[in-house]
Amino acid sequence: MNSDQQIAELQRGADEVLLAADLVKKLKRGVPLRVKAGFDPTAPDLHLGHTVLLTKMRRFQDFGHEVTFLIGDFTSLIGDPSGRNVTRPALSAEEIQTNARTYEAQVFKVLDRGKTRIDFNSRWLSKLTAEDVVRLSAHYTVARMLERDDFSKRYRAGVPISIHEFLYPLAQGYDSVAMRADVELGGTDQKFNLLVGRTLQEAYGQEPQVVMTVPLLVGTDGVNKMSKSLGNYIGITEDPDSMFGKIMSISDELMWRYFELLSFRPLAEIATLKREASDGRNPRDIKFELAREIVARFHDAAAAERAHRNFIARVSQKAVPDDLPLRVIAVDGAGLRVANLLKEAGLAVSTSEGNRKIDEGAVRIDGTRVTDKGLTLKAGAEHVIQVGAKRFARLRLEPKA
Amino acid sequence: MNSDQQIAELQRGADEVLLAADLVKKLKRGVPLRVKAGFDPTAPDLHLGHTVLLTKMRRFQDFGHEVTFLIGDFTSLIGDPSGRNVTRPALSAEEIQTNARTYEAQVFKVLDRGKTRIDFNSRWLSKLTAEDVVRLSAHYTVARMLERDDFSKRYRAGVPISIHEFLYPLAQGYDSVAMRADVELGGTDQKFNLLVGRTLQEAYGQEPQVVMTVPLLVGTDGVNKMSKSLGNYIGITEDPDSMFGKIMSISDELMWRYFELLSFRPLAEIATLKREASDGRNPRDIKFELAREIVARFHDAAAAERAHRNFIARVSQKAVPDDLPLRVIAVDGAGLRVANLLKEAGLAVSTSEGNRKIDEGAVRIDGTRVTDKGLTLKAGAEHVIQVGAKRFARLRLEPKA
């Protein structure tokens, strides 16, 4: 991949890059960049939304950069000392270690284990003295801190902001100083804090980091951000069938966003898929590829295969036999009309019977009723074909040799 | 002294006491109170204005309380890390020690050396970790901090406030926690910071300190607060003659304020002096007593005596002989009219000549021309009497045995 392609891959799907020109400059030096992303050490139970950031980290790893998964244990050791926010209790060092191990079990489904450095910001933050904190906080003003969206809203509304809340963004910014980060990745809601890092690095005589924010992933409902409480999430520990089914339930439009944000396929491959779709390839087959990639990532290839088969069977009809044998049918580049397929599969004695069955509304492919006798199926996919309530075939369409 | 008198003496001249009822409650326990006052470790060159606070501390010492002269070396080790304020450079530990010794040489003119504890807030503040600072700062809100007069003005005016400036009042407040202070004394401009101490002590489960602010001393011009830059100050290291003369230059009205704020005399004695003044005693004589007390404090009794004599001589006339012998004249309770005094002192052959000389405008007492033949001098003072340009007498009027 040439350098322009690398830059495009690294910025792919990013919400904002500050400053993209700096990123190019840093990349052109040819030295691996120090890339940082911070995570709360709360007990993780990740869903695909969380993996957008991990996927971005993975992309940097794939291009040879040094990626640190930074666990922000320092502040969690403290919790919310004001005692106002009962949802943020202080975590013990032991709980943090347990949570860190839970993280590891999950994030290495996306990150490259051999290329990931896991670190804890308590390593340097707990060594700071009161004097260091005073020096640190001299580099940022109250007015700028109050510009942060949530602070400014609370201040205007008269909702108390404790002074220690001003110290958290400074602590996070100091992480970048301590790590001499070249790039910090985070969610869009982290933008302010990531920019504090730039300011502090400059104050400490360092080249400021590039800040890259990744967008929130839209959930399976296609409307709201993926979230557990909205029920529109796909958990990364969900069983293969559930995960596969949920991915298949997203709209064709959202599918492309998922490809951009979650798939490890290079942009060029995705462009090819898009061309195929506009050339008439069934989007459902393309979505199968996405679902198989994601399920294989969080489980394995065999599980993805099984989930695919089960999905087809399940959506075809509850009555699809579990032990339906797979038949391979060779098709040429032009593909095969449904009536021809029915005949080849032994589900109709002739193409005319096949077409009649279509007219009767008795034919389903992967559970969806076929109404268009002109529908052509191409090689490269697997389908459950059904005629009436009882006759089934599981077919794999392969290109003619 | 009974307890009510003690309470009156302790609150004497105070600008504000928060809360006076708490002070009474603490005093009534009969346990010595821990009294704290903080000082910057900048090179001190004190004037009487600074000693208002020291005098208040002394009053607490006189009633058996534990007074700590707290040197705020912690923040000065840091200076102004933003580098914006060039007038506040960081002080080295050595400079701070030197300044502390300079302080000691000056403040023990007012404080009781044997009863004064000198401490440095770096003792506990430098031991705080970043975590401690976060916990500390959780106990105060941004909105309350921005209520501080100078902060709110700067914030509204768009003048940057660095976040570390929010940490200083918290550090000062934490001093009260570390010392478990019962009372904190300070200037009126310190009121906000002293109240932070109350808030933090409560947050740390302590009984909040009583906050007592002392007023700014008006300078010799009778108008502005005493300040070196205004030239209306009386430095505590000034030579006795200069100090004596400056005190004598203040108005009679301001004199009573100085008595209240600077004199060690109990309130009852001052009340007596006021009665004497309203009974016709020359305010000048009363001012002499103030000047002698103050000069004796910062030099010694003999120096005060000489300064008194020199002052009389100086203001009487430049020509007053340096070696003018002192004569003692006994007067009864009713006092002595000026003409009689002139006769007794041998400056007139008869009281009629004395009265004629007064009519001629030739008679001066302590440099001031006498115009009222009815003026009566009472026992208890020393004066230089002058008739014409050449005839002088230094007289001490003592009560008839």
As given in the structure block, the two tokens for residue B382 are 């020393």
Asked if the Cβ–Cβ distance from A160 to B143 is below 8 Å, we say yes
Query: Are A369 and A375 spatial neighbours (Cβ–Cβ below 8 Å)?
Result: no
The mean pLDDT value for B336-349 works out to: 90
Chain B CB contacts of A79 under 8 Å are none
The rounded distance, in Å, linking the Cα atoms of A35 and A183 is: 5
The string of pLDDT tens digits covering residues B168-206 is 899 999 999 999 999 999 998 889 999 999 999 999 999
For A237-274, b where at least 16 C-beta lie within 10 A, e where not — what string?
ebebbebbbbbbebeeebbbbbbbbbbebbbeebeebe
**Cis-peptide into B125, omega within 30 deg:** no
The string of pLDDT tens digits covering residues A48-60 is 999 999 999 999 9
Which of B115-124, B176-185, B363-372 is the most confident on average? B176-185
Whether B129 contacts chain A with CB within 8 A? yes
Helix segments in A249-344, DSSP class H: 252-262, 267-278, 283-298, 301-316, 338-344
Chain A CB contacts of B160 under 8 Å are 141-143
Chain B CB contacts of A160 under 8 Å are 141-143
| pLDDT of res. B321 | 67
Whether A74 contacts chain B with CB within 8 A? yes
Chain A CB contacts of B139 under 8 Å are 81-82, 162
| pLDDT of res. A175 | 96
Instruction: Find the angle CA(B93)-CA(B99)-CA(B101) to the nearest 5 degrees.
Output: 105
Q: Is the dihedral of CA A147, A148, A154, A159 positive or negative?
A: negative
Selecting from A80, A138, A165 the residue whose C-beta is nearest the C-beta of B164 gives: A138
Asked if the Cβ–Cβ distance from A131 to B130 is below 8 Å, we say no
The mean pLDDT value for A378-401 works out to: 84
The string of pLDDT tens digits covering residues B251-277 is 999 999 999 999 999 999 999 999 999
10 Å Cβ neighbour count for A29?
Answer: 9
Selecting from B74, B134, B145 the residue whose C-beta is nearest the C-beta of A81 gives: B134
Give the closest residue to A313 by CA, choosing from A303, A302, A326. Answer: A326
Chain B: give the shortest CA distance to residue A122, in Å: 10
3-state secondary structure of A382: strand
Helix (H) or strand (E) holding A391: strand A391-399
List the beta bridge partners of residue A289: none
Confidence of residue B91 (pLDDT cuts 50, 70, 90): confident
Burial classification of residue B240, based on how many CB atoms lie within 10 Å of its CB (0-12 exposed, 13-18 middle, 19 or more buried): buried
Residue A80: pLDDT over 80: no
Confidence of residue A360 (pLDDT cuts 50, 70, 90): confident
**For A165, which residue in chain B has the nearest alpha carbon?**
B138
**For B73, which residue in chain A has the nearest alpha carbon?**
A131
Chain A: give the shortest CA distance to residue B140, in Å: 6
10 Å Cβ neighbour count for B369?
Answer: 11
The mean pLDDT value for A353-366 works out to: 88
Whether B125 contacts chain A with CB within 8 A? yes
The string of pLDDT tens digits covering residues A329-357 is 888 888 889 999 999 888 899 999 999 99
Give the closest residue to B36 by CA, choosing from B212, B250, B169, B261. Answer: B212
| pLDDT of res. A293 | 97
| pLDDT of res. B318 | 57
Asked if the Cβ–Cβ distance from A138 to B170 is below 8 Å, we say no
As given in the structure block, the two tokens for residue B59 are 């009053």
The rounded distance, in Å, linking the Cα atoms of B107 and B55 is: 10
The mean pLDDT value for A206-212 works out to: 97
| pLDDT of res. A108 | 92
Residue A318: pLDDT over 60: no
Query: Are A17 and A23 spatial neighbours (Cβ–Cβ below 8 Å)?
Result: yes
Chain B CB contacts of A127 under 8 Å are 130
The DSSP 8-state label assigned to residue A395 in this structure reads: E
This prediction's pTM: 0.73
The rounded distance, in Å, linking the Cα atoms of A373 and A124 is: 68
Residue B77: pLDDT over 80: no
Residue A92: pLDDT over 90: no
Chain A: give the shortest CA distance to residue B130, in Å: 5
Chain A: give the shortest CA distance to residue B170, in Å: 10
The rounded distance, in Å, linking the Cα atoms of A17 and A271 is: 23
The rounded distance, in Å, linking the Cα atoms of B189 and B32 is: 27
The mean pLDDT value for A273-279 works out to: 94
Better-scored residue on pLDDT, A20 or A368: A20
Chain B CB contacts of A77 under 8 Å are 131
Chain A CB contacts of B127 under 8 Å are 130
Asked if the Cβ–Cβ distance from B80 to A145 is below 8 Å, we say no
Between the alpha carbon of residue A339 and those of residues A320, A370, A399, the distances in Å are: 20, 10, 18
| pLDDT of res. B100 | 81
The string of pLDDT tens digits covering residues B280-293 is 889 999 999 999 99
Residue A320: pLDDT over 70: no
Better-scored residue on pLDDT, B45 or A309: A309
The mean pLDDT value for A161-175 works out to: 92
How many Å separate Cα A308 from the centre of its chain? 20
Query: Are B297 and B345 spatial neighbours (Cβ–Cβ below 8 Å)?
Result: no
Residue B79: pLDDT over 70: no
Helix (H) or strand (E) holding B51: helix B48-62
ipTM score here?
A: 0.70
Confidence of residue A321 (pLDDT cuts 50, 70, 90): low
The mean pLDDT value for B383-400 works out to: 85
Q: Please name the residue that has the structure tokens 């065999």.
A: A302
Confidence of residue A309 (pLDDT cuts 50, 70, 90): very high
The rounded distance, in Å, linking the Cα atoms of A90 and B364 is: 82
| pLDDT of res. B307 | 94
Chain A CB contacts of B175 under 8 Å are none
Residue A82: pLDDT over 70: no
3-state secondary structure of A370: coil
In sequence order, what are the residues at sequence separation of 6 or more whose Cβ sits closer than 8 angstroms to the Cβ of residue A338? A354, A358, A363, A365, A370, A373, A375, A376, A377
| pLDDT of res. A89 | 59
The rounded distance, in Å, linking the Cα atoms of A301 and A294 is: 10
Lowest mean per-residue pLDDT among A235-239, B152-156, B358-362, B363-367: B363-367
Instruction: Find the angle CA(A34)-CA(A35)-CA(A37) to the nearest 5 degrees.
Output: 145
Residue A90: pLDDT over 70: no
| pLDDT of res. B211 | 97
Confidence of residue A280 (pLDDT cuts 50, 70, 90): confident
Lowest mean per-residue pLDDT among A205-214, B257-266, B363-372: B363-372
Which of A41-50, A73-82, B280-289, B327-336 is the most confident on average? B280-289
Asked if the Cβ–Cβ distance from A134 to B158 is below 8 Å, we say no
Residue B353: pLDDT over 50: yes
Between the alpha carbon of residue A46 and those of residues A58, A219, A237, the distances in Å are: 16, 13, 8
The string of pLDDT tens digits covering residues A18-59 is 988 999 999 989 899 999 999 888 767 789 999 999 999 999
Chain B CB contacts of A80 under 8 Å are 138
Chain B: give the shortest CA distance to residue A218, in Å: 35
The rounded distance, in Å, linking the Cα atoms of A383 and A370 is: 13
| pLDDT of res. B320 | 65
Residue A85: pLDDT over 50: no
Mean pLDDT of chain A: 89
Instruction: Find the angle CA(A326)-CA(A328)-CA(A331) to the nearest 5 degrees.
Output: 145
What is the total residue count of chain A? 401
Q: Please name the residue that has the structure tokens 């009363």.
A: B286
Whether A160 contacts chain B with CB within 8 A? yes
Lowest mean per-residue pLDDT among A9-18, A322-331, B186-195: A322-331
Give the closest residue to A293 by CA, choosing from A266, A272, A273, A263. Answer: A263
Q: Which of residues 309-368 of A touch B (CB under 8 A)?
A: none
Chain A CB contacts of B167 under 8 Å are 133-134, 137, 163
Chain B: give the shortest CA distance to residue A228, in Å: 30
